[in-house]
Each structure stands twice: as C-alpha cells, then as structure tokens.
Amino acid sequence: MGSDDESDSGSIDVIIDYEDSQPATPPMEQPNVVGAAAAQAPIISSYNDKIRPLLDVIDRLRLLMVMKEGIQLPTIVVVGDQSSGKSSVLESLAGVNLPRSQGICTRVPLIIKLQNHARPRPELYLEYNGKMVPVEEPQIATAINIATDEIAGPGKSISDIPLTLVVRKDGVPDLTMVDLPGITRVPVHGQPDNIYEQIRDIIMQYITPKESIILNVLSATVDFSTCESIRMSQQVDKNGERTLAVVTKVDRAPEGLVDKVTADDVNIGLGYVCVRNRIGDESYEEARKEEARLFETNAHLSCIDKSIVGVHVLAQKLVRIQANEIAKCLPEIVKNISAKLEANVSELEKMPKALTSDADATQAMMRIIQAAKESLKKLLWRGEFDEYPEDNTKHGTALFVEMLNRFSYELHNCEESNLSKDFLTEEIKGLEDAKGIELPNFLPFEAFLRILRKKVERISYLPIKFTEKYWDYIDDVVMSVLTRHWEMYYHVKVFAKGAAHNLVQKLREQSINRVKEIVEMEKLTGYTCNPDYMMEWNKLMKEQDHFINQISGTNMGPLPCCVNLQGFGEIQVEHLRQHSNVSILQQAFALKMRMVAYWKIFKVRLVDSMALHLQYHVHNLVHNDIDEIMKELMGPDGHGIKMMLVESPAIVAKREKLKNSIKVLKESKDSVAKVMDRIVVYDAYLV
C-alpha cells in the first residue's frame, strides 16, 4: 500500500512551506487522536490559511473555465458505486446535509468548495447557470434538488453541466471536491436505458486527466475488487498512484476489514481511510464521537492503525494531497497558460482586421492576390516549399519531374516500343500497300509514313492523358493555395475559387489542344536533323546480311526458328520464310531499321516537347494569367469589393472566441502569479 506523501526518486518535489507546521503525533499518543478530545476539535488544523490561497487560485481558474482552454487543473474527484456511502462521507467533511433518496442522488457533477471561516454564521450559496443563489443551511438539500432539476431537468436523468456548492464555515477543511453520480448498471423507472454509459462517460471525463486525484468511496460490506468504481479508476490509474480509498459502513462489516485494507488487492496507491457513516438524526459532533468510540472499542476495528481511521484523518489526508498536487501542478499550469495565451494572441494577430471601406477592401484584395501569386510561383516554378515543408503533394516542381519521368517510362515501354513483336510483318504489309510504278528496289517514303502515322496514333492517348493529369494537379494546387489565402473571407473565397477553376480549365483546354497539334505534326511527316538518326540506322543495318541469310537458308545447316539480332534479342522468324522474295525482306528490314532509329528520336522529342510546353503554360499562369482572377473579382460593378466587406459568421465567431479566450487566459495568468511565491521547488535529491 503506497503513501500519499511518497515521491519517486529523481523527480522534482514541490513542497508547501506549511508542511512542517503539523508536528508528527508520537506513537503512544495515537489513541488520544481519535478520542473524545479530538472528536470535539475542528475537523482540520489551523494551517488552512496557508492552503487557502493555493486552493482559491485553482477555484478561480475553475470559475474562469480555463479547462475549456485545454488547461487541466488538480481536482479531487469523488466516485463510488450507488449506495456506497459517498454522500455520507461528503456530509461529514462539509458538515451539511446533502440530498438523500433511493437511486441516484447526484445527477450532475457537484463541485463542493469548503472554505474554513471563523465566523459565527455559516455562509452557503449555489452557483449554476451564471447565477449565485444564497442558501440557508437547513435548506441545502432542497436547494440542490431545485438547481439540479433546472440543470438536468426534472425526473431522474443526468447531465454533465456542473453545479457548485460553496460552504464557508468554521472548522471545515479547505477542500474543493467534485462529487459525481453514483454508478448504477440497471436503470430504474424514468431513467434512460443507457444510464450506465452516461454516468461512465462523465466519470471518465473527470478522472482521466493525470492531475485528478480520485477519492474512491468503497463500502466495507462488499468485495472491493467487484466495485465498478475500482474498475473505472484502474483504467486511468493502473498503479493507483493518484487514488485514495475511503471505506464506509465499517460498523456493518468489521470482520476482516483490517486484512482488506492492508492486503490492498486493488492497488490503492494513496492508501485507505476507514470511516463510520452518520446514522439517523445524529449530529455531526455525535457522529464523530461515536466514530472515535467504535474504532477504540470494537474488537475487529480497534486493531486498525489509527493513522487511517476517522473523518478527521480523511480530511487531513485530502488537504495534504490536494495542497501538494496544486503546488506540483502550478508551474506546469503557468507554463501551459502562457503557451496557450501566446498562441491565441499570435493567431488573433494573423486574422485580418474587419474591413470598413472600399479602399481597405481593395488593398486587402490586392495583397491577398499577390501573396497567392507568390505562393504559386514558389510551388510551381521556383521549387521553394517553405510554406508547405511537410506536404509533398504541394511540391509542384518536384512532382512535375516525377510525372514527366512516369510519362517517359510509359512511352518507352508501351506496345509500340516493342521492337521484336511480329518482326517485319507491318513493314512488309506497308511495302505491299505502297506498290506502284517505280524504280526497282526503291524504298517508298509513303510506306514509312503510313507505319509512322499508325504508331503515333496508337500512342497519342499517352501525351493527352499526361497533360490532363498534370492540369488536374495544377487545379488542385491553385485551389488549395487560394483557399489558404482567402480563408478569412468566405464569400470572396468561393468566388475566387470559381474564377480560378475557370481559368485553369481554360488553360487546360488550350494545353490539350496544343498537345494534339504536336501529335498531328508528328503524324504529318517524318523529319529530324539529329545526327543520331543516321548513326543508329547505319549501326542497325550492319545486321541485315546476317539476318537475311538466316531466313533464306543460304548458309549450310538447319534453318533456325529464332535469330539473335543485336539491339532486339531473340527474334521469331519462321513467319518470314513464306516470303520467297529476298528483295522484299531486304526492303522490309531497311524500313524497320529506319523506323526504329526514327522512333527513338521521336520518343525523346515528344517528352522534351511536353516538358517545354507545360512549363511554358505554368510560367504564364503564375506570372501573368493569375491576374485574371483579380480582374474578375473586381468586376465592373465592384462586387468583389463589396463581398470583402462582409465577413463570414465563422470568422466573426472565431475572432470573438479568441478574444474571450485571451481575456480568460490573461486573468488566469494574473491569478496564478499572485500565489507562485508561496511555492518552493527543491530537487528530490536535496529533500
């Protein structure tokens, strides 16, 4: 069983400057602590005044609802199964009567703020729905029920909207606790079928943050390991490092209790405290006397260590744990508040100011267009990605190279680039179709053109597909950049994106038409001044005699079914032996080699043409064409300017939310700063 004031070696301990104000009780005097004298003393000692400022600042932060800003606060969260005696424990600590009934008594999170005040008349009030309602002590239970009905509605439904009870009274411990609905699995009449899930969700919301201290109320009459509250707390605090257990109804099941709390089968890291519930109409003073007598005289309970019995011990433990947790968390809270404040101030400064005149709107529009234009130049032309360092999909120049390489690969590996398939078949047919009155052994240029046009036509879909895909990408980038730059002006953003899309689609259509022209030019005639063409053709033609001999059988020996041709690999040739005319084979071979040499030039030229063409259009887009968006936005009637003057409700709401958040965080920061000098930080090794 762990101790609530133990610390891990090597960590930073946060020590309150009042800890030593409570001298340790000598062992021989422990029985007197729970005796009649102790029962008549205040429930907690006088060092509340030093704890109070720390607790006040946390209560102030909670009142400011700083938790909505993502800042977690140290909180004692009271959980327990239904009928575990949770209300009785809280009543004993607060010295006031809370609602009692069959079923769920607590239907909303009840924040109980106990403040020790030496005044003859207690001061009590409720805070909910933005109002403060003073309450007389005898009417507390009724007032809480009325407030609960207002928050959660009449009946037995629950709500996660909190209700706050402030108790300023002499002798109470300085504590702030959140009492949550008791856990029940079976809905009663008037409760929703998912009542368990609703209660579980509220409990998990409060106990999950690592800053929460879980006060788990367990009945002595049950097996602790079967308690639903234990199961829930173990989900978020497996080792029990921030769980304290209070065992109630000890007078009903005293046998074996000492073994249950010392064995600690359920990992309660902050230890156990055993208490007796107030019975019937007992006053709180009478109940404490009876509790002290019970733990001294009962044969089973008197052997329990006196340092873990009694409501006064529970109060002392809670005060100490709470104070240590607040002091430990405050530096981190200050850091988180400052970081959140700085981030919100920065975000607010980045938001555009509300525009009030046409001149302001015109300047803002020009500024945004120029900023968007510069972003597009970086992404699509200069290859600068500082605005989108992690988003590779916006790295336009790099992606263009990848897309161009992919297009080149597809072109070089398409069916038309397969050199060995049906070798010479198309060339022989082309020569036969081009027969006419001509000189013998003359290679007709028309046969070459027919084959070229067919091949170009069959690959024409590739450059068009590549162009369409690239302009689709350009459209996505332009839309994304404009969305980012126009984000604060919703009405103009929609219009600007429409104008930009129309512009890109117009350029896309022009580009596709130009690519079709390039393809048609390649089909018109075959031409190149590249010397590689003749070099490649001459190299290929050196294989002609060897190849023809293998087919015609002029060499001695069996005729091969395949011929190994340099640059082509194994070629199937049996289909060529049906042509007895060697001359036609020679012409077909020469025509094939011309086409192979020229096709190699054609593929490189097409890739180069596509690269230059698309780069040219993108250059014009980001340097000149994008200005058309500005002209369209301005319009002859200045409709774009008028739209700039109308802020979207979302932007207005965001600005107000940031302002409110900054106000809350500034107040929170000021509140915390006033008590930071009460905290002394020591290295654990020096403690």
Q: Please give the full DSSP string across 610-645, using - where no structure is assigned.
A: HHHHHHHHHHHIIIIITHHHHHHHHTTT-HHHHHHT
The angle at the Cα of 95, spanning 94 to 99, to the nearest 5 degrees, equals: 80
pLDDT value of residue 68: 83
Which residues lie closer than 8 Å to 352 by C-beta, 6 or more apart?
Answer: 364, 488, 489
Q: What is the dihedral of CA 180, 185, 189, 192, to 10 degrees?
A: 70
- Return the percentage of the chain with pLDDT > 70, whole number: 85
pLDDT of residue 34: 41
Phi, psi of 387 (to 5 degrees): -80, -20
Q: What is the pLDDT of residue 442?
A: 63
Q: Would you list the domain boundaries of the chain? A: 76-329, 358-553+560-645
What tens digit of pLDDT does each residue of 488-540 get?
777 778 888 888 899 999 999 999 999 999 999 999 888 899 999 899 888 88
Tell me how many degrees the CA angle 563-569-570 measures, rounded to the nearest 5: 40
Could you check whether 76-329 and 358-553+560-645 share the same CATH topology? no
Please list the alpha-helical segments (H only) found in 41-176. 48-63, 86-94, 140-152
Q: Which residue has the tokens 């529970």?
A: 314
User: Between 351 and 226, where is the model more confident?
Assistant: 226
Beta-bridge partners for 564: 570
Digit-coded pLDDT (tens) for 283-306: 888 989 999 999 999 998 999 999
Residues 6+ apart with CB under 8 A from 281: none
Q: Render pLDDT for 37-72 as a digit per residue (tens, 0 to 9).
A: 344 445 544 445 566 777 788 888 888 888 888 888
Which range (43-47, 96-100, 420-424, 461-465) has the least confidence?
43-47
SS3 of residue 223 by DSSP: coil
Element (H, E) at 167: strand 163-169
Number of alpha carbons in the 13 Å side-chain half-sphere of residue 233: 33
Q: Which segment of 278-282, 317-321, 615-619, 664-668 scores lowest on mean pLDDT?
A: 278-282
556: pLDDT strictly greater than 60: no
Class of domain 76-329 (CATH, top level): alpha beta
663 Cβ neighbours under 8 A, 6+ residues apart: none
- Fold classification of 358-553+560-645 is Four Helix Bundle (Hemerythrin (Met), subunit A) (1.20.120)
SS3 string, 557-589, reads CCCCCEEEECCCEEEECHHHCCCCCHHHHHHHH
Structure tokens at 233: 């707390």
Q: What's the mean per-residue pLDDT of the chain? A: 82
In tens, the pLDDT along 405-456 reads 999 999 988 887 777 777 777 777 777 776 655 656 667 787 888 888 888 9
Closest C-alpha to 296, from 31, 103, 105: 31
**Which of 587-626 are b and which e, b meaning 16 or more Cβ less than 10 Å from the residue's Cβ?**
bbbbbbbbbbbbbbbbbeebbebbeebbeebbeebbeebb
